[in-house]
């Protein structure tokens, strides 16, 4: 049995005439944090929906923990924890009620102990009797993570875990994700934040219009296009970027520009622009 | 017992709504309005099959209320859970069989329908007209709640927007409430209309609820309800089983 905890082969999904996911193939190893990076509408959420048994693919195959998600979805469900992009908590129920129902649905043993442990972990134990609708966006996201942890799954799916959250809350969520990773969990995370992919992921797959156009460690992806970027404003006011193989090359180019010049290390956004000609974060 | 958390969740949601002031009042308003307008207004000058109009009307109102409450609870709960709040995903991703979702949702709809019925039954007892409470009546009530909760699953699973739910209510549930023997007996209807009305499930609930004892008519109506229930249940269950976003 190979180590691949999540495996996808030629995966495709059509919605009418729109091809949301187009022959995507990748494999995620045990204990790895893998990021699917791409702009909105690139097919990230659809891929997660297929892997978490919510949606049936139009073509290709997918395995989670070695189990075919289409043929045997009920065997996949106990192994996964899902943090959806859209909050799917019961807003009228309290924090504790949401956790309790989930624990029952997943047949969690020692429910009350586990609920307390996970709520303390994300700092929501004091708010356990509050209806969810009175929690802030960041708290609701933390509750979603705590809930996904309840059944102590070995494979996690986090769909845009920090979208719409302020920077400080975003860092708190990152810390929580790092703690899941430290316990040896396999994590698939989707994001359209460059910083998030670089901060959390061992490997990144770049999705554009349903297709996986690159896949490697963030470091290798960046080295491949060039380690440094020179940025300056052209006479017409538009921003010009030049990707360079080395810092020395960047400095040579910068010396020829009369205006203010920035030299910085390349990031995954530069990789995406290089590959597609478009930006990720819009 | 895998259905129990599905049912419990719905009951917790129901309790949360009950605590909101006005929820019971607004859900009780329509049947009480009919009771006052028809039962006490019209009813004083009409006698039906040897009894007072109120005695005729009470079981009809219970049939109607149990239908609308069971149906609406399940249909709008599933519709909103699927399309708006996304809470249906949590059930689909949980390691429980599709039948557990189906059973949990139907039992919650039945509980909702029985709760609404209980309110009218209490009114009936208070005004001294509780004679309709027979074992046949209660069996018919349970079957009616089951049937319309199952229909709620079907509509909740096939609707593409929340507005669709009220479209189905307006074109199917509401006419049925009026023509199925809730407010007046169907015996004297024109033949064509009566033929259509006899195909509606609620008509047979109304017939059963007013039966004093088992006879041929009882068996026919019970058979129609059971067949409808099974078909709608199976259809709803297949919709949940084949759910895909």
Q: What is the mean pLDDT of chain B?
A: 90
Pairing of strands A261-265, A239-244: unpaired
Q: Does B245 reach chain A within 8 Å, measured CB to CB?
A: yes
Nearest CA-CA partner of A83 in A3, A167, A159: A159
pLDDT, tens only, A195-204: 899 999 999 9
What tokens were used for A166? 């302020």
Domain hosting residue B42, numbered range: 4-241
Edge-to-edge strands, sheet with A67-68: A18-29, A4-15, A59-64, A67-68
- pLDDT of A22 reads 93
Answer yes or no: do A49 and B245 touch at CB < 8 A.
Answer: yes
For the purposes of burial, counting CB atoms within 10 Å of the CB of A43, is it exposed (0-12), middle (13-18) or buried (19 or more)?
A: buried
Q: Does B97 reach chain A within 8 Å, measured CB to CB?
A: yes
- pLDDT of B91 reads 96
Average pLDDT over residues A58-78: 94
For the purposes of burial, counting CB atoms within 10 Å of the CB of A85, is it exposed (0-12), middle (13-18) or buried (19 or more)?
A: middle
Edge-to-edge strands, sheet with A203-208: A80-83, A155-159, A186-191, A33-37, A203-208, A211-216
- pLDDT of B28 reads 75
What tokens were used for A232? 């300056």
How far does B184 lie from chain A, in Å, by closest CA?
A: 40
pLDDT above 60 for A2: no
Give me the number of domains chain B comprises: 1
When scoring B1, B81, B95, B240 by the number of chain A Cβ atoms within 10 A, the one with the most, hence best to mutate, is B95
When scoring B13, B94, B99, B160 by the number of chain A Cβ atoms within 10 A, the one with the most, hence best to mutate, is B94
- pLDDT of A1 reads 42
ipTM value of the model? 0.90
- pLDDT of A104 reads 97
The number of beta carbons lying within 10 Å of the beta carbon of residue B91 is 24
Residue B241 binned pLDDT confidence (cut-offs 50, 70, 90)? very high
Residues of A in contact with B94 (CB under 8 A): 77, 102, 105-106
How far does B1 lie from chain A, in Å, by closest CA?
A: 10
Residue A150 and residue A140: Cα distance in Å, rounded?
15
Answer yes or no: do B92 and A55 touch at CB < 8 A.
Answer: no
- pLDDT of A10 reads 94
pLDDT, tens only, B138-153: 999 999 999 999 999 9
- pLDDT of B110 reads 97
User: What's the Cα-to-Cα distance from B3 to each of A183, B10, B103, B151, rounded to whole Å?
Assistant: 32, 11, 6, 18
What tokens were used for A115? 């609920």
Residue in chain A nearest B244 by alpha carbon = A55
| Predicted model pTM | 0.90
Answer yes or no: do B93 and A54 touch at CB < 8 A.
Answer: yes
Please, what's the b/e burial string for A252-269 (b: 16 or more CB within 10 A of its CB; e: otherwise)? ebbeeeeeebebeebbbb
The number of beta carbons lying within 10 Å of the beta carbon of residue A5 is 23
pLDDT, tens only, A143-168: 999 999 999 999 999 999 998 888 88
Residues of A in contact with B12 (CB under 8 A): 90, 93, 97, 101
Answer yes or no: do B93 and A80 touch at CB < 8 A.
Answer: yes
Residues of A in contact with B9 (CB under 8 A): 90, 93, 101
Q: Does B96 reach chain A within 8 Å, measured CB to CB?
A: yes
Residue in chain A nearest B100 by alpha carbon = A105
Answer yes or no: do B12 and A84 touch at CB < 8 A.
Answer: no
DSSP string, A173-235: HHHHHHHHHHTT-EEEEEES-HHHHHHH-SEEEEEETTEEEEEE-HHHHHHHH-SEEEEEE-T
Residue in chain B nearest A70 by alpha carbon = B244
Nearest CA-CA partner of A35 in A175, A186, A182: A186
Residue B199 and residue A5: Cα distance in Å, rounded?
54
Helices (H), B96-134: 98-126
pLDDT higher at B37 or A60: A60
Of A74, A104, A131, the CB nearest to B97: A74
> What is the largest distance, in Å, between two alpha-carbon atoms of chain B?
59
Answer yes or no: do A93 and B6 touch at CB < 8 A.
Answer: no
Residue A213 and residue A51: Cα distance in Å, rounded?
20
Contact at 8 Å (CB) between B96 and A105?
yes
Cα angle, residue A55 at apex, residues B152 and B243 outer, rounded to 5°:
20
Q: B130: which residues sit within 8 A by CB, 6+ positions away?
A: B121, B124
Q: How many residues does chain A have?
A: 282
Domain boundaries, chain A: 4-218, 221-276
The number of beta carbons lying within 10 Å of the beta carbon of residue B231 is 12
Q: Does A74 reach chain B within 8 Å, measured CB to CB?
A: yes
Answer yes or no: do A87 and B245 touch at CB < 8 A.
Answer: no
Answer yes or no: do B13 and A93 touch at CB < 8 A.
Answer: yes
Q: Does A88 reach chain B within 8 Å, measured CB to CB?
A: yes
pLDDT above 60 for A282: no
Contact at 8 Å (CB) between A244 and A228?
yes
Helices and strands in chain A: count of H runs, count of E runs: 10, 13
Q: Does B16 reach chain A within 8 Å, measured CB to CB?
A: yes
Answer yes or no: do B89 and A88 touch at CB < 8 A.
Answer: yes
Q: Indicate the helix (H) or strand (E) that contains B148.
A: helix B135-158
Answer yes or no: do B89 and A54 touch at CB < 8 A.
Answer: yes
- pLDDT of A126 reads 96
Pairing of strands A228-233, A261-265: antiparallel
Any bridge partners for residue A83, and if so which?
A158
Of A54, A91, A93, the CB nearest to B245: A54
- pLDDT of A281 reads 63
Over its C-alpha atoms, chain A yields an Rg (Å, rounded) of: 21
Nearest CA-CA partner of B113 in B141, B155, B79, B77: B141
Q: Indicate the helix (H) or strand (E) that contains A28.
A: strand A18-29
pLDDT, tens only, A124-145: 999 999 999 999 998 999 999 9
Cα angle, residue A92 at apex, residues A87 and A94 outer, rounded to 5°:
90
pLDDT, tens only, A209-247: 999 999 999 999 888 888 888 888 887 878 888 888 888
pLDDT, tens only, A82-94: 999 989 999 999 9
**Dihedral sign (CA A176, A178, A179, A180):** positive
Answer yes or no: do B5 and A88 touch at CB < 8 A.
Answer: no
Q: Which CATH number fits domain A4-218: 2.60.40.350, 3.40.50.300, 3.30.70.100, 3.40.640.10?
A: 3.40.50.300
Q: pLDDT over 70 for what percent of chain B? A: 100
What tokens were used for A102? 């989930």
DSSP state of B86: -
Q: Does B89 reach chain A within 8 Å, measured CB to CB?
A: yes
Residues of A in contact with B87 (CB under 8 A): 88-90
DSSP state of B172: I
A–B interface: beta-carbon pairs under 8 A: 65
């Amino acid at each position: 049995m190979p180590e691949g905890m999540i495996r996808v082969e030629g995966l495709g999904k059509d919605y009418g005439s729109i091809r949301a996911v187009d022959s995507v193939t990748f494999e995620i190893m045990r204990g790895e944090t893998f990021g699917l990076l791409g702009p909105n509408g690139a097919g990230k959420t659809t891929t997660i929906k297929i892997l978490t048994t919510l949606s049936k693919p139009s073509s290709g195959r997918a395995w989670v923990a070695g189990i075919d998600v289409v043929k045997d979805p009920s065997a996949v469900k106990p192994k996964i924890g899902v943090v959806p992009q859209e909050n799917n908590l019961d807003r009228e129920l309290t924090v504790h009620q949401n956790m309790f129902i989930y624990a029952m649905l997943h047949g969690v043993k020692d429910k009350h102990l586990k609920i307390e442990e996970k709520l303390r972990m994300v700092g929501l134990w004091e708010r356990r009797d509050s209806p969810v609708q009175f929690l802030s966006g960041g708290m609701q996201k933390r509750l979603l993570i705590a809930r996904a942890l309840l059944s102590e799954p070995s494979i996690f799916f986090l769909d845009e875990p920090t979208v719409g959250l302020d920077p400080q809350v975003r860092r708190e969520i990152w810390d929580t994700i790092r703690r899941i990773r430290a316990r040896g969990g396999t994590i698939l995370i989707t994001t359209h934040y460059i910083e998030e992919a670089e901060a959390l992921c061992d490997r990144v797959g770049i999705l554009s219009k349903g297709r996986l156009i690159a896949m490697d460690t963030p470091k290798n992806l960046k080295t491949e296009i060039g380690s440094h970027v020179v940025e300056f404003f052209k006479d017409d006011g538009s921003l010009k970027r030049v990707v360079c193989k080395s810092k020395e090359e960047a400095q040579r180019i910068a010396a020829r520009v009369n205006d203010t010049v920035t030299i910085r290390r390349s990031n995954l956004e530069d990789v995406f622009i290089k590959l597609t000609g478009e930006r990720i974060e819009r | 017992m895998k259905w129990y958390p599905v049912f419990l969740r719905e009951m917790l949601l129901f309790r949360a709504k009950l605590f909101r002031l006005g929820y019971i009042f607004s859900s009780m308003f329509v049947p009480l309005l009919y009771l006052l307008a028809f039962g006490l207004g019209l009813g004083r000058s009409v006698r039906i099959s040897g009894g007072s109009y109120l005695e005729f009307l009470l079981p009809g109102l219970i049939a109607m209320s149990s239908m609308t409450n069971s149906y609406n609870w399940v249909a709008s709960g599933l519709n909103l859970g699927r399309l708006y709040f996304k809470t249906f995903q949590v059930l689909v991703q949980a390691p429980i069989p599709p039948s557990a979702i189906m059973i949990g949702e139907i039992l919650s709809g039945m509980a909702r329908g029985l709760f609404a019925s209980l309110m009218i039954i209490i009114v009936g007892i208070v005004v001294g007209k509780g004679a309709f409470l027979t074992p046949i009546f209660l069996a018919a009530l349970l079957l009616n709640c089951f049937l319309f909760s199952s229909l709620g699953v079907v509509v909740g699973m096939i609707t593409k927007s929340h507005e669709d739910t009220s479209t189905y209510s307006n074109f199917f549930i509401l006419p049925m409430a009026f023509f199925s023997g809730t407010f007046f007996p169907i015996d004297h209807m024109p033949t064509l209309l009566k033929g259509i009305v006899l195909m509606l499930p609620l008509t047979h609930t109304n017939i059963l609820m007013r039966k004093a004892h088992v006879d041929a008519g009882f068996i026919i109506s019970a058979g129609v309800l059971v067949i409808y229930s099974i078909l709608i249940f199976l259809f709803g269950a297949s919709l949940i089983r084949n759910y895909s976003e």
